Amino acid sequence: MHTLSAEARTNRARARLKKSRRWATGLLLLACVLFAASAAYVKHYPALGYVKAFAEAAMVGALADWFAVTALFRHPLGLPIPHTAILPRNQHRIADELGRFIENNFLQGRPIALRVYQAAPSEKLLAWLARPQTRVQWLPWLAAQLPALFKVAKPEQTARFLGMLLAEQYSGERIGKTLSDGLKALKAQGLHETLFNAVLKQARRWLQDPETRLLLEQNLREWAAKIESDAPSAWEKLKASLKGTLVDKVDGWVSEKALDWADGYLAAALADPNHRIHRSFNEQYDRMADALSRSRLWHKRLEQGKMQLAQSPAVREMLEKSWQSLQTWTQNDVQKADSLWLAQLNKLLDHMIAQAQRYPQFMRRTDVRISLMVRDFVMRYKDKAALFVADKVKGWDSSQMVEKLELSVGRDLQFIRINGTLVGGLVGLAIYCVSQWVF
């Protein structure tokens, strides 16, 4: 991992390149001096012929390698010699080849997905979140961002989106089956009986309330007074012969008895789980769950009801106000020391950690999903990444590209010049020795 800045790394690479150039050029100059000295004194000292042969071949090797290295980046001595300045002249072709090389050799979905899976990202993320320091530092910060997050969606946009979601994503059949599954889940847990008993208890409280009884008795008397009969019964004739106050008392007594009977009937139903009203409720409950799941008529009705709700201005207004209330409540809650949002985030984190410890296979499946998502992302966009690299290289200034490449590999190329000087000299010396021995 590089800890230096880009400028510092560039300056260091430039210094190393200059040093390597000085070594290579110094050896060339040394070969020239050796050649000149040996050529001047070889007549007096024939053994200098070996030095002259070494120096002559070393100069040739050094100059040849200098020309080759220079021709990669620029025209030697500024002369437009054919097949020189290879890199700048082929910049676009090199950029395309570099992009294809990265796409075909680096951006491979399967190896990348395997590396992501082996890194266990979900486990590392949970381990990081579980640290006390992370809880103290990041969870309050995350809770504080919720108001801004909620404000991103305007109330009218949220209401319109929810209406559209209801209208487009949930058909009448899907709604019916969802409701049916919900009813069956309630029954599997025995909650439907609990809810029914709660309704019966509330009905008893309602019947026992004095104001309710008075209202019901009055309604019963009004209903009885409206009954008309062409053939009055003996009771009606008796009522007609009595005074009005007595009739009212009798009707009141009958109404009270009717309400007492209803209250007693509900009490008996609450005391007996096998009461007829319980059996009827269970039968109707099962028929309702089955009808919601299978009945096309119910699906059609739910579809019509769904569309009415989705298009209802009142429902949209209610959703807008609900979203505004949530935004306001969240804004106030996150500022409290005992924020409910912060408590819920802590509970959610505790639940995630507990589930990860209890079901390690879930974490592995999560890592698989993450790695597959990364693989799909890479396979979908690797051509665009290659195109981006190619366009970036094509957009470089030629001198900038040459400088970048030369700073990257130029130092090694200068060692080619050094090796060419030494190897060339040794080869020249060997050839001179063989010629002296043969001829």
**Residue 135 reports pLDDT greater than 50:** yes
Are residues 257 and 136 both part of a single domain? no
Are residues 434 and 404 both part of a single domain? yes
Cα–Cα dist 59/425, whole Å: 8
Say which range, 57-61, 189-193, 428-432, has the weakest mean pLDDT: 189-193
Q: Is residue 138 part of a domain?
A: yes
**Residue 251 reports pLDDT greater than 70:** no
Distances (CA, A) of 202 to 130, 266, 345: 46, 10, 37
Q: Is residue 427 part of a domain?
A: yes
Domain count within the chain:
3
What pLDDT was estimated at residue 228?
45
Say which range, 114-123, 172-181, 405-414, 427-436, has the weakest mean pLDDT: 405-414
- Supply the range of the domain harboring residue 69: 17-89+396-438
What pLDDT was estimated at residue 221?
62
Are residues 298 and 213 both part of a single domain? yes
Q: Is residue 335 part of a domain?
A: yes
Which secondary-structure segment (H or E) carries 257? helix 244-271
Are residues 194 and 283 both part of a single domain? yes
What residue has token string 């690479």? Answer: 13
Q: Is residue 425 part of a domain?
A: yes
Which tens digits make up the pLDDT trace of 208-227?
777 776 776 676 666 655 55
Are residues 328 and 296 both part of a single domain? no
Are residues 282 and 402 both part of a single domain? no
Cα–Cα dist 85/88, whole Å: 6
Q: Which of 173, 193, 198, 199 minimizes the C-alpha distance to 285?
A: 193
Are residues 281 and 401 both part of a single domain? no
Which tens digits make up the pLDDT trace of 106-127?
888 888 888 888 888 888 888 8
Are residues 351 and 431 both part of a single domain? no
Q: Is residue 373 part of a domain?
A: no
Which tens digits make up the pLDDT trace of 313-353?
887 888 888 888 888 888 888 888 888 888 888 888 888 88
Which tens digits make up the pLDDT trace of 376-411?
888 888 888 888 888 887 777 777 777 777 777 777
Q: What is the mean pLDDT of residues 73-94?
A: 75
Relative orientation angle of helices 244-271 and 210-225, to the nearest 10 degrees:
120
Cα–Cα dist 354/349, whole Å: 9
Are residues 327 and 307 both part of a single domain? no
Which tens digits make up the pLDDT trace of 231-240?
455 545 545 5
Q: What is the mean pLDDT of residues 184-202?
A: 82
Token representation of residue 61: 């090797």
Q: Is residue 415 part of a domain?
A: yes
Q: What is the mean pLDDT of residues 356-380?
A: 86
What pLDDT was estimated at residue 245?
46
Are residues 288 and 193 both part of a single domain? yes
Which tens digits make up the pLDDT trace of 266-313?
888 888 888 888 888 888 888 888 888 888 888 888 888 877 777 778
Q: Is residue 378 part of a domain?
A: no
What pLDDT was estimated at residue 281?
85
Are residues 211 and 286 both part of a single domain? yes
Q: Is residue 287 part of a domain?
A: yes
Token representation of residue 22: 């000085």
Are residues 135 and 267 both part of a single domain? no
Q: What is the separation, in whole angstroms, between the first and last Cα of the chain?
A: 60
Token representation of residue 125: 């993320």
Band the pLDDT of 243: cuts 50, 70, 90: very low
For the chain, percent of residues with pLDDT exceeding 90:
1
Looking at every residue in the chain, the average pLDDT score rounds to: 79
Q: Please give the model's pTM, rounded to 2 decimal places.
A: 0.45
